[in-house]
Amino acid sequence: MNLFDIFHTKQFDDKTLFIHKEKKFLLKEFKNFVASGVAFLNTQKADNVVILSRCAFDFCVWFFSCIFAKKNIFLLTDNSKLKYLDFEYIVVDKSLPPAEQPDFFRIEPENVLINFYTSGSTSQPKNVQKTLANVITEANCLYEEFFALSKCDNTQFRFLTSTHPQHMFAFSFYFMLPLCFWGSFVLDTTEVCYPDDADFKDSVFISTPSFLEKFQKYEVKNSYSPFLIFSAGAKLNNGLFKYLNQSGNVVDIYGSTETGTIAYRSCSDDKDLTVLNRVKISTDNNSQLVVSSPFFIQDSVTLGDIVQIKDDKHFVLRGRADRVFKIQEKRVSAPEVETELINSVPHLIQSCCCFKSGEKLACAVVLTVKGIDLFFDKGNSILKLTSFFKNTLKDRVEIVPQKWKFLHELPKTKTGKIDTEKLERIFKTNISMPFVFEVQKDSHSAVYDLTFPFSCNFFTGHFNGFPVLPGVVQLYFAHFFASDAFGNGVSNDCVKKIKFSKIIKPDEKLKLVFERKNNLINYMYKRDEQICSSGVMTINEKD
C-alpha cells in the first residue's frame, strides 16, 4: 500500500512503519511525531523549510510535517549550500517530542513541491523542483522494474542505506520506494556507516561505489548478504561489480537529480545501459543525452553526458561534454586522456582522473601493485615515474598532463563521484605528497605504509647535507591521512602530546599508524618497530 494515499486514515495505525533504533515503530507512533512537527511549523512565519536531518527517522518526520503544514520543502545535502538560498527559510533537523494527533487531510501529491539542490556540471548549486506525484510515479516504475516479477518468498525486505535521503538517488530508492510499497517493504532507519557492522539479512541496500568498494578492499565477510544492492552516484567499477555479484544481485543505476532514474545495468559485462520504463531518450546535435519522463516537471532535460543510442531501450555512455578543456588553444578530452593512459599501461594503473589545474592539464593516478614496484625500480623517484608516464602518452594524445600526483585512492564524495574539489586542493598545495604503497583501514584503526622521497620539496634546506623530515610536515600529513581515514571532522587546531623520538630521513619505509578511541585519535610514525614521532588528535562527532 502507498503510505501517501492512506496517511489520513486510521485503518493501518497499528502496523509497523519503520524499524527505528532496532525496534518496530508503528504508524500511529510516527503520526504523533508528525503532529508535533506540524504544530511547530505552524508557529513559523517562513513558508520555506530546509530539512538537514542526518537521521532517516527525523527526515521522515519533517518531510510529512512540511506536507501537512503546507510548507515548501527544500532538501540540501549539507549546510554549506544554505548560502545560496536568497529567501526567508527555517532549518529543521532533530524531531520534536510526540504530541496528540490532529485529523490529517488527504495528501494531494501533485500539489506538494520538493526542491533539491544540485551542482550539476558546475560548482554553483541550482534548484531542481519536482512534485510528490513525480517521485511517486518514479517509485512505481522502480518497483515494476526490479521487484514485481522477483521471487521474494513473501519476505518483507528492510531498506538500508549508507547515504542520506537528501540525495535524489537515496530519496527515490531508500525513502519513496519502501513508503510507496509499505507492507512489502519496511524502512530501517539505521545508517550503515561501516560494512562490517551491518546486519544485511532480508535487506535491500542503497549505497554508492565509494562505500561498496570497502567490501572488496577490506574483504568484509557478513553473516548475510543483501537480497539486492542498488548503487548510484558514479559508474560501478567492473571488478567491484563482479566481486559483489559473488554474494548477491547488484544493480548499477544511472540518473541525475534533474531527471531521477534513467537507466541501469545488472551485469558487470553489460556495456549498454537499459532504459527504465516510461523514460524516453534521444540526443541533441552534440550527441548529448536528452531525457523525457514523468519523473520531473519539464518536458525534457538535456544532460552533459555524450551517448551513443543503440535503440529505444539501450545506450552507451561516451563521456562528459563538460570534461572537455581548452588548453594551449586546443580542446582536450579528459576521458580520452584517461582511457589512453590506462590502455597503454593497464598493468601499472588502477585508476586515474584528469582535470584542468590553472592553465595546465593535471592527472591523479592510483597505481597497481606492479606500478608501485615500478616506483621502487625508479629509485623512489616521483620525477622519474612522472617522466615515464609522460613519455607513454606523448605519441597518443595532443596534450600530455604536466601536473602529476600519485595517490593511494581517488577521493570520492559521499555519493560516490570523484571529489574534484579535493583533488584540486591537493594539487594546489605547495607541499609534495609522500608515496603511499599500502593502506589498511577500518572504523577504529588505519595503517599507511609510505615513504617520503628525497625529491620532496620540504627536504630542500632542511638540512643541507643531512636532509631530515620536518616536524611540521609530519603533523600536516598526520592530519591529512587521519581525515582520509576517519572523515573531515578531525581537528587540526590542537594536537596534544606531540613527541619526536627519532629523525626521519628521505626514502625510509614508514608506517603511519592511527588508533581511534571515541573522539580521540592516536597517531605514530614508525620505522620497523621504532616510534619516530607520535601525538593525539581530536575528532568532532558532529561532522
Contact in structure between 73 and 66 (CB atoms under 8 Å): yes
Please answer whether residues 145 and 181 qualify as being in contact, where contact means their C-beta atoms are separated by less than 8 angstroms: no
Asked whether residue 31 is assigned to any structural domain, the reply reads yes
Do residue 385 and residue 301 come from a single domain? no
Model confidence band, residue 150 (pLDDT cutoffs 50, 70, 90): low
For the beta carbon of residue 329, count every other beta carbon within 10 angstroms. 5
pTM over the 0.85 mark: no
Diameter over CA atoms, the chain: 83
- Say whether both 228 and 286 belong to one domain: yes
CA dihedral for 498, 504, 507, 511, sign (positive or negative): negative
Q: Is residue 360 part of a domain?
A: no
Chain length of the chain: 543
* Residues 277, 396 share a domain: no
DSSP β-ladder status, 509-517 and 445-451 = antiparallel
Give the integer Cα–Cα distance in Å for 362 and 341.
13
- Is there a single domain that holds both residue 297 and residue 395? no
Task: Report whether the peptide linkage leading into residue 463 is cis, meaning its omega lies within 30 degrees of zero.
Answer: yes
Regarding predicted confidence, which is higher, 5 or 155? 5
Distances in Å between the alpha carbon of 108 and those of 67, 70, 411? 9, 11, 42
The whole-angstrom separation of Cα 471 and Cα 477 is 10
Contact call for residues 206 and 159 (beta carbons, < 8 A): yes
Residue 349 lies in a domain: no
Is 327 domain-assigned?
A: no
Same domain, 292 and 386: no
Is 532 a member of any domain? yes
Classify residue 383 by its DSSP letter.
H
Which of 328, 378, 323, 317 minimizes the C-alpha distance to 352?
A: 323
The predicted-structure confidence for 342-394, as pLDDT tens digits, reads as follows: 999 999 999 999 999 988 999 999 999 999 999 999 999 999 999 999 999 99
> Is residue 76 scored above 80 in pLDDT?
yes
How would residue 487 be classed by pLDDT, with cut points 50, 70 and 90? confident
Residue 353 lies in a domain: no
Burial class (CB in 10 A: 0-12, 13-18, 19+), 388: middle
Phi, psi of 502 (to 5 degrees): -135, 145
Share of the chain above pLDDT 90, in %: 76
State the pLDDT at residue 464. Answer: 84
Compute the average pLDDT of residues 134-138: 98
Residue 212 has pLDDT above 90, yes or no: yes
Both 398 and 265 in one domain: the answer is no
pLDDT at 492 over 80: no
CATH number of the domain enclosing 114: 3.40.50.12780
Give me the pLDDT at residue 102, please. 85
Overall domain count for the chain: 2
Of 302, 320, 338, which marks where a domain is finished? 320
Q: Do residues 231 and 161 both lie within one domain? A: yes
Q: What is the DSSP letter of 182?
A: B
- Tell me: do 174 and 302 sit in the same domain: yes
Regarding whether 403 and 523 lie in a shared domain, the answer is yes
Residue 525 grid coordinates: 610514525
Residues 11 and 158 occupy one common structural domain: yes
**472 domain residue, yes or no:** yes
How many CA atoms lie within 13 Å of 177's alpha carbon, on the beta-carbon side? 30
Q: Which of these three, 299, 320, 341, is where a domain ends?
A: 320
CATH of the domain at 466: 3.10.129.10
217 or 363: which carries more pLDDT confidence? 363
403 shares its domain with 515 = yes
What pLDDT does residue 416 have? 78
Range of the domain at 478: 370-538
Last residue of a domain, one of 320, 340, 357: 320
Q: What is the mean pLDDT of the chain?
A: 92
Rounded CA separation 360/374 (Å): 26
Provide the pLDDT confidence category of residue 153 given band limits of 50, 70 and 90: low
Whether residues 395 and 511 fall in one domain = yes
- Cβ-based neighbours of 70, under 8 Å, separated by 6 or more: none
Q: Mean pLDDT across the stretch 434-458?
A: 94
pLDDT (average), residues 448-470: 93
Give the pairing of strands 349-357 and 330-333.
Answer: unpaired
DSSP 430-450: SSPPPEEEEEEE-SSEEEEEE
pLDDT digits (tens, 9 = 90+) for 219-251: 888 899 999 999 998 889 888 999 999 988 999
Residue 192 within any structural domain of the chain: yes
Q: Report whether pLDDT(118) > 90.
A: no
